[in-house]
Structure 1
């Protein structure tokens, strides 16, 4: 905090959205690196005991109830904001109104640094509600005067595992599409690792970084990779782009939203000849990271395949598979 009193340790962080796909990797990485981790979690029927088991402190609050926020920020140096609204909620309630309240509280409480996750190209698609909200939140954060880092993401590799890799290995049907959209998925563990490297680099404060994986993939290329590694053809139902515009199949990999109106707007972007990727050379140099250390989609799927074979046939079969 900036006021008088006990100094706040730089290792004291609050992770907002800690139970999500990215949030839990942020928590794990932070704990592994020796941070004192507090997790803001909404009161829920199933408590987030796994976060406590890992060694984090869990505090209950709700971004849609601003009065619950200040107490969670006491003694916190850095806020890492991975949160997004639940599928059944109006999109503005958490992703705009809740974030505005959180940022305002962080400013009032003297938070030293704020990390915000956004979406790649959000400034170019105001017709997509969530992308517009992310861009507006970026601007609000900048105008707040908080020391901050904005990280724009393309997509999570983890979403592909349940959508394609596991069903193909289990010989179940999968959905395919002829959409030309290419997405440079990144492993959430790499996102977490790069986040903390950026956090420790004072030269990055106030910057917008975009994290993208080593290669941009179409849906069909992802399926083909799974088939090649599994050594078997997938049972693919190919749905034309025109049909996908009215389904939820195109937005699962972002894990940003399930809101119907937003989903339809997303599909207009994702069925166009768009590439959700960016050259990472400058970012790697800035962070002092070797591109060879970034996990590829092939490595993720190959590791999953070996684990699957070992579970079914025993350890010896994994050696044969290699």
Structure 2
């Protein structure tokens, strides 16, 4: 059985959980990261091996694949980078190297419904990468994702607790968020199932939520109202068109195109019954957004209460 895994994008929100789960299940884990010490130190502390490389520099890739059986690719370019540099050119180079070096299995994370939005550069690139991976001849699994629960903490939970502005839109988009720990667990179940090779799986949470529903849930759990600033979809569209006039803002326009899709009348969700049956997973074991946010707010509010109590105990009165 394949035992060594290269995780690409290991310092990201999903990548960290992919690494942690692999180590817990006894895999030999190697992480491809750009030369940045702080995030990689955490991976080393867990027991992973860290190798420095950069998808934007194809010549650095081959050495990272020596002795590797499987590649799990959850990397994505930084916001300040041209989308094509890492998400297309870098991924093509990585897939080509994996094929040349006889990698046994390649897992690629894509976006749900990417094939329906060719007008959005990131989604078009994801779809093209899916096709390139299929044509490469590599044994692979493609996993399309809807959204991460973890992203809602910084976007909604923290600003509400800190009484800062929460940004929302007036669109009825619904997203079935999933905990990245569940995504990691399902990924390794799929890796061990030979019947899944070559398939496209979509992972979605138990329920699809609108932005307003998420904000309302956070308000209830935090026990306080949110200061919501609503951005009309029309403003996003206008801003995107404006940035298209200038070469130096083209990448900004590309990112805004993705935001526009996320704030349109779209549902990022799929029924998961067939997938659960295929993987042998009980739907009751998948965490709901209510439970995830409830645990977060319970823990954080307890810590704030403890800190307040400690602060009062340390007061000095003269």
Supply the distance in 2 between the matched residues of 1:171 and 1:55 (Cα, whole angstroms): 38
Supply the distance in 1 between the matched residues of 2:265 and 2:15 (Cα, whole angstroms): 30
Q: How far is the alpha carbon of 1:171 from its aligned partner? A: 2.4
Supply the distance in 1 between the matched residues of 2:164 and 2:25 (Cα, whole angstroms): 39
Distance 1:316 1:153, change over 3 A: farther
Q: Unaligned stretches of 5+ in structure 1? A: 1-9
Q: Is the 8 A contact 1:42 1:60 kept in 2?
A: yes
The reply to whether residue 307 of structure 1 matches residue 299 of structure 2 is: no
Q: Deviations over 1:118-177 (max 9, x none)?
A: 000001100000100000000000011100000000011111001111221232221222
Supply the distance in 1 between the matched residues of 2:22 and 2:186 (Cα, whole angstroms): 11
The aligned counterpart of 2:317 is 320
Distance 1:252 1:229, change over 3 A: farther
Structure 1 window deviating more from structure 2 (311-320 vs 65-74): it is: 311-320
Distance 1:227 1:33, change over 3 A: same
Supply the distance in 1 between the matched residues of 2:315 and 2:282 (Cα, whole angstroms): 29
Greater fraction helix:
2
The aligned counterpart of 1:97 is 89
Q: Is the 8 A contact 1:175 1:236 kept in 2?
A: yes
Q: How far is the alpha carbon of 1:48 from its aligned partner? A: 1.3
Q: How far is the alpha carbon of 1:250 from its aligned partner? A: 17
Supply the distance in 1 between the matched residues of 2:122 and 2:14 (Cα, whole angstroms): 18
Q: Deviations over 1:187-226 (max 9, x none)?
A: 1111111101111111110000000111111111111001
Q: Deviations over 1:73-96 (max 9, x none)?
A: 011000000111112211111111
The aligned counterpart of 1:207 is 199
Supply the distance in 1 between the matched residues of 2:192 and 2:312 (Cα, whole angstroms): 40
Q: Is the 8 A contact 1:87 1:258 kept in 2?
A: no
Report the aligned-residue RMSD: 5.2
TM-score (norm 2): 0.88
Structure 1 window deviating more from structure 2 (16-25 vs 47-56): it is: 47-56
Q: Is the 8 A contact 1:84 1:256 kept in 2?
A: no
Supply the distance in 2 between the matched residues of 1:319 and 1:157 (Cα, whole angstroms): 42
Distance 1:123 1:251, change over 3 A: farther
Q: Is the 8 A contact 1:151 1:211 kept in 2?
A: yes
Q: How far is the alpha carbon of 1:268 from its aligned partner? A: 3.1
Supply the distance in 2 between the matched residues of 1:293 and 1:242 (Cα, whole angstroms): 40
Supply the distance in 2 between the matched residues of 1:98 and 1:197 (Cα, whole angstroms): 27
Aligned length: 312
Q: Is the 8 A contact 1:149 1:205 kept in 2?
A: yes
Distance 1:19 1:47, change over 3 A: closer
Distance 1:86 1:33, change over 3 A: same
Supply the distance in 2 between the matched residues of 1:308 and 1:255 (Cα, whole angstroms): 47
Q: How far is the alpha carbon of 1:271 from its aligned partner? A: 2.8
Q: Is the 8 A contact 1:182 1:276 kept in 2?
A: yes
Q: How far is the alpha carbon of 1:307 from its aligned partner? A: 5.2
Distance 1:129 1:257, change over 3 A: farther
Output aligned runs, 1:1-322, within 5 Å: 10-44=2-36, 46=38, 48-245=40-237, 259-296=251-288, 298=294, 301=297, 304-306=300-302, 308-309=304-305
Q: Unaligned stretches of 5+ in structure 2? A: none
Distance 1:273 1:316, change over 3 A: farther
TM-score (norm 1): 0.87
Q: Is the 8 A contact 1:154 1:254 kept in 2?
A: no
Structure 1 window deviating more from structure 2 (285-294 vs 229-238): it is: 229-238
Which 4+ residue blocks in structure 1 deviate beyond 6 angstroms? 247-258, 311-321
